[in-house]
Amino acid sequence: MPAGAALSPVVTTAEPRLWPLRLATAAMGTRFELVLGGDDPERLRPVGEAAIEIIEDSHRRLSRFAPDSLVSHINRTGFARPVRLDGDMFDLFADALAVHHASDGAFDIAVAGGRGGTVLLDEGARTIRFTREDVAIDLGAIAKGHALDLAVRVLREHGVPFALLHGGTSSVAAIGAPPGMTGWRIALGRSAGARSIALRDAALSVSGPAGPRDRDGRALRPGHIVDPRTGESVPGAHLIAVTGPSARLADAWSTAITVLGRRPAALGPAWTTYRIEAD
């Protein structure tokens, strides 16, 4: 799961009426927040709530720890028989497996049993199955980005002109830009001199081997990114940030690059990667 970067969506332009709405929900063990812009607050709230609903629905479906989630259902039955998936879930698993292959196994949703190649998708039947009985999957490293991608789709369908969404500040998605700005300004890291980037119609994910930190830079938990090929924790205190067209792919790649220690050749030109050294 990506570590928390300091996300600072601090925007100083005037016209407060253009961004009247902030919504939040607790999901996937963190806080999701949506900042929505537009000139019709009465219409904006139901649209924002529809986006919140899709994030909460993703939580219910993707949690490995809730017994009634789809992921738990797959973990229980995926070896016995193929499990049918809807289009969004199939695309999520297809992306996860694509990054698994393109990163030479540095990213892996299989967390138990044999790793790598034990999860199979059937595109024609749109199903998933496991090749070994002891396989379990955990989408924790990609679920937040997936939820943000679905939420962005809802907001775009309803014509929201600009918005910033994040899950726990480590997975971020931006629609448009605040008026008069080239993008949503986001600081990578917590120090005063932290590099900042402008995010516009793109997603950002931040991972780090050191795990999440508090405002003073102290580690909140030990690092928890493990190289699935060796089972060893990844060393270091830096952060990897990835920006590109999809939040769930950004999530997967930020984890993969943290494990690999370098930008892989397979990553296309639509993607930008950053390495931020510890303060």
Partner 1 sequence: MLPDRREFLIQSAGALAAFALIPEPAAALSVPQGRALRVALIGAGRQGRAILAELQKIDAVEVAAVCDVLPGRVTAGIERAPGAEGFADHRALLDRRADIEAIIVATPTHLHRAIAEDAIAARRHVYCEAPLASTVADCRAIEAAAATAATVFQAGFHGRSNPLYRRTWSLMRAGSLRDIVSVSARHHQKTSWRFPASDRTLERAANWRLDPEVSIGLAGELGAQQFDAIHWLINAWPERIDGAGSIRLWDDGRTVPDTITARLHFPGGIVLDYGATLANSYGDAHEVIHGSNAAVRLAWSNGWLFKESDAPTEGWEVYATRQQFYSEEGIALVADATQLAAQGRLRESIALPHPSLYYALADFVRSCTEGATVACSATDGARATIVGILMNQAIVTGSAVDVPASG
Smallest separation (angstroms) from partner 1 to the CB of 173: 19
Nearer to partner 1 by C-beta: 77 or 131? 77
Nearer to partner 1 by C-beta: 86 or 214? 86
Subset of 46-65 contacting partner 1 (CB under 8 A): 46-47, 49-50, 53, 60-61, 65
* Residue from 17, 22, 31, 76 binding partner 1 (CB under 8 A): 76
In angstroms, the CA 204 to CA 243 distance is 4
Nearer to partner 1 by C-beta: 67 or 217? 67
79 binds partner 1 (CB under 8 A): no
Site string for partner 1, 85-104 (x = CB under 8 A): xxxx----------------
Write out the residues near partner 1 by the rule CB under 8 A.
42-43, 45-47, 49-50, 53, 60-61, 65-68, 70, 72-73, 76, 81, 83-88, 126, 157-158
